[in-house]
Amino acid sequence: MDRNLIRIRSLDREDITKILEQSKVFLEILDRPIKKVPALRGKVVVTLFFEPSTRTRMSFELAAKMLSADVLNFAASTSSAVKGESLKDTALTMKALGADYIVVRHTHTGAPEFIAKQGDFRVINGGDGFGEHPTQALLDLFTIRQKLGRLEGLNVAIMGDIAHSRVARSNIFALNKMGANVRLVAPPTMLPVNIEKLGAEVHYRPDAILEDTDVLYLLRVQTERQKDSLLPSLKEYAELFGVNGDLLSKFKKDVMVMHPGPINRGVEISHDVADGNDTYIEEQVRNGLVVRMAVLYLLEGGKEAAHEAVS
Amino acid sequence: MKSKTVEIMDEEGIKRALIRIAHEILEKNKGAERLALLGLQTRGVPIAERLAAIIKEIEGADVPVGALDVTLYRDDLSHMRHHPQVRATTVPFNVENARIVITDEVIYTGRTIRAAMDAIMDLGRPQVIQLAALIDRGHRELPIRADYVGKNIPTSRLEWVHVRLREVDGIEGVTLGRSLDRAADDE
């Protein structure tokens, strides 16, 4: 493992497998009466969030606490960032406080790499601009493997606003590396040009992928982007791409329905499907804890590494 | 690096030692009631399983067997650049009020056993914790001792003890090794 986890793109199959295997072992801790192990005692984990987030931040903070680290939360909206402090100075402040890990979410792609250059802390990308969201992809892979026992050869369809989704990007890289077949389903306005070059089939309607899709991964329709005119209306999207009981029944039996959250009920997923037996949204949230524990535990660090260049 | 190894226990020797330890466990605990065996990953686990099988033969009782990985409780984690992969912990019995016997292949500094006791305490409050080790090679760094020992082997810190068990290594036996390098001998 590297010192930082910023891009799935820079991991190989072996790294991903190692994280998934370690995550599996940590599941046992979630069933304990006292959910805490002393592995990261004395370490400081800062969650540096310049964009709103509930589940990712809470998941990282709880994972760090379960490993006995001390957790500091920096939310841009209530911090000196609103007073105009630069990202560099914020990072230098974290360094002076003695942060060992920085989990960063930022609107700008590349912010995690920039922060990694400011100190000898370990940096984990919690989502950067239109870049990546590596721990989301890892917990998705873990959830698929937990249910289906493998990733190799599976057909995984990602449906929704691919163009604006760092979750989709990280998942495309991760699934490809693990030997799954990725299919992207979206209206053309939600697909970036040349996306198939990343190694994915492209479809403009779900009809073509009904029979042999093993996992149907839905993305949130970012209603705040409605002003960008990606869609004639949310109602039309719900009719063509929204997954309801009727559409789901045309898929192969036992297709796994996944969603990174937060979900828009009645848009990309109907109430009955969201609450039904084919969805794994709660498992994804729970698995997010063990995957993030595994990442915090496995990232290499320590004094000897301090002189090394950060990547 | 040149080295010399001698066999100090063969398959029969290991078998006899475990049969004796099983009897001692039953004697000291006055039977198998609330008894549980907890093997430390990796070679402590087959030792626990073998002891459970022998106890079953002697007493007819089914003693639950668990596996414990103490890596997350090690006292040297913060000194390491690469954290070692953690293996599975499975404790298929209630720790509360249990009479737990930790099993491991070698007791040396005692640090692993300290970590194991902390790990167990996180799972509940056992009535007693005891320790069975196939080999005691001395050089304790903590005030910890084994309740049941297969064989005491006085060693130098420059020597190493290799326990090989069929379930893990495919072969069976205990060997004592010593480096023949002068640099090591001078230390």
Mean pLDDT, rounded, for A141-146: 98
pLDDT of residue B183: 52
CATH number, domain containing residue B97: 3.40.50.2020
Closest-CA distance, A309 to chain B, in angstroms, reads: 15
The answer to the question of residue B65 being in a domain is yes
How many of the other CB atoms lie within 10 Å of CB of A19?
25
| B31 is a domain residue | yes
**For B72-92, b where at least 16 C-beta lie within 10 A, e where not — what string?**
bbbeebbeeeebeebbebebe
Question: Measured between beta carbons, which residues in chain A are less than 8 angstroms from residue B78?
Answer: 41-43, 302
Q: Which residues of A touch B87 (CB under 8 A)?
A: 25
Residue A311 confidence (pLDDT): 34
Q: Across the interface, which of A1, A32, A42 has its CB nearest the CB of B122?
A: A32
Residue B31's SS3 state is coil
Write down all domains in chain A, each with its CATH number in brackets. Answer: 8-132+286-307 (3.40.50.1370), 134-285 (3.40.50.1370)
Interface test with A, best of B81, B89, B120, B123 (most A CBs within 10 A): B81
Give the pairing of strands B173-179 and B3-9.
antiparallel
Q: Phi/psi zone of residue A130: left (φ > 0), alpha (ψ -120 to 50 degrees), beta?
A: alpha
> What's the pLDDT at A305?
43
**What is the residue-averaged pLDDT of chain A?**
92
- Between chains, do B82 and A297 touch, taking CB under 8 Å as contact? no
Residue B5 lies in a domain: no
Q: Nearest CB to A38: which of B72, B81, B82?
A: B72
Q: How confident is the model at residue A310 (pLDDT cuts 50, 70, 90)?
A: very low
Domain around B108:
12-77+88-155
Q: A41 at the B interface (CB within 8 A)?
A: yes
Residue A157 near residue A213 (C-beta atoms within 8 A): yes
Chains A, B: CB pairs < 8 Å: 49
| Model confidence band, residue B182 (pLDDT cutoffs 50, 70, 90) | low
Residue B3 lies in a domain: no
Banded model confidence at residue A52, pLDDT cuts 50, 70, 90 = confident
Q: Taking CB atoms and an 8 Å limit, are A21 and B85 in contact across chains?
A: yes
Over residues A80-126, the pLDDT tens digits come to 666 778 999 999 999 999 999 999 999 999 999 999 999 999 999 99
Q: Scan residues 56-75 of A and list those with Cβ closer than 8 Å to B.
A: 67
pLDDT (average), residues B59-86: 96
Q: What confidence tier does A18 reach under pLDDT thresholds 50, 70, 90?
A: very high
Query: Distance (Å) from the C-alpha of residue A55 to the closest C-alpha of chain B?
Result: 26
Would you say residue B114 has pLDDT above 70? yes
Q: Chain B 78-97, CB below 8 Å of chain A: which residues?
A: 78-83, 85-90
Q: Classify residue B186: in a domain, yes or no.
A: no
Query: In chain B, whose CA is at the least distance from the CA of A2?
Result: B82
Q: Does a structural domain hold residue B125?
A: yes
Binary contact (A42, B78; C-beta < 8 A): yes
What local confidence, expressed as pLDDT, does residue A276 receive?
94
Q: What is the pLDDT of residue A53?
A: 87
Mean pLDDT lowest among A198-212, B138-152, B168-182:
B168-182
Q: Write the DSSP string, B134-173.
A: EEE----SSS---SEEEEE----TTEEEEEE-HHHHSS-E
- Burial pattern B117-138, b for ≥16 Cβ within 10 A else e, equals bebbebbbebeebbbbbbbbbe
Closest partner CB to A304 (pick from B69, B81, B122): B81
pLDDT for the residue B69: 98
Interface pTM (ipTM) of the complex?
0.90
Q: Chain-wide mean pLDDT for chain B?
A: 95
Closest CA to A170 of A128, A203, A122: A128
Domain assignment present for B168: no
Average pLDDT of span A141-155: 98
Taking CB atoms and an 8 Å limit, are B122 and A1 in contact across chains?
Answer: no
Verify whether the Cβ–Cβ distance B72 to A39 is below 8 Å.
yes
Q: Provide the domain count of chain B.
A: 1
* Closest of B185, B172, B114, B179 to residue B143, by C-alpha: B114
Q: Report yes or no on B115 lying in a domain.
A: yes
Whole-model pTM: value is 0.93
pLDDT, residue A73, reads 93
What contacts A42, CB < 8 A, 6 or more positions away?
Answer: A70, B78
Whether the CB of B77 is below 8 Å from some CB of chain A: the reply is yes
Q: Report the distance separating Cα B56 and Cα B45, nearest Å.
A: 17
d(CA A69, CA A145): 28
β partners of residue A256: A215
Question: Is the CB of A84 inside 8 Å of chain B's CB atoms?
Answer: no
| Among A3, A32, A101, A120, the residue to mutate for chain B (most B Cβ within 10 A) | A32
Residue of B41, B74, B86, B125 to mutate when probing chain A, most A C-beta within 10 A: B86
Residues of B in contact with A33 (CB under 8 A): 123-124
- Is the model's pLDDT at A11 over the cut of 90? yes
Nearest to A22 among B79, B85, B89 (CB): B85
Q: pLDDT for B115-145, tens place per residue?
A: 999 999 999 999 999 999 999 999 999 999 9
Q: Determine the residue type at A167.
A: V
Q: What would the pLDDT profile of A220-278 be if each residue is shown by its tens digit?
A: 998 777 677 778 888 999 999 999 999 999 999 999 999 999 999 999 999 999 999 99
Mutate which of A298, A299, A307, A308 to test chain B, going by most B C-beta atoms within 10 A?
A: A298
Nearest of A212, A190, A216 to residue A269 by alpha carbon: A216
Please tell me whether residue B6 adopts helix, strand or coil conformation: strand
Is residue B184 over pLDDT 90?
no
Query: Can you tell me the distance from the alpha carbon of A89 to that of A92, in angstroms, rounded to the nearest whole number?
Result: 5
Contact criterion met (CB < 8 Å) for B72 and A305: no
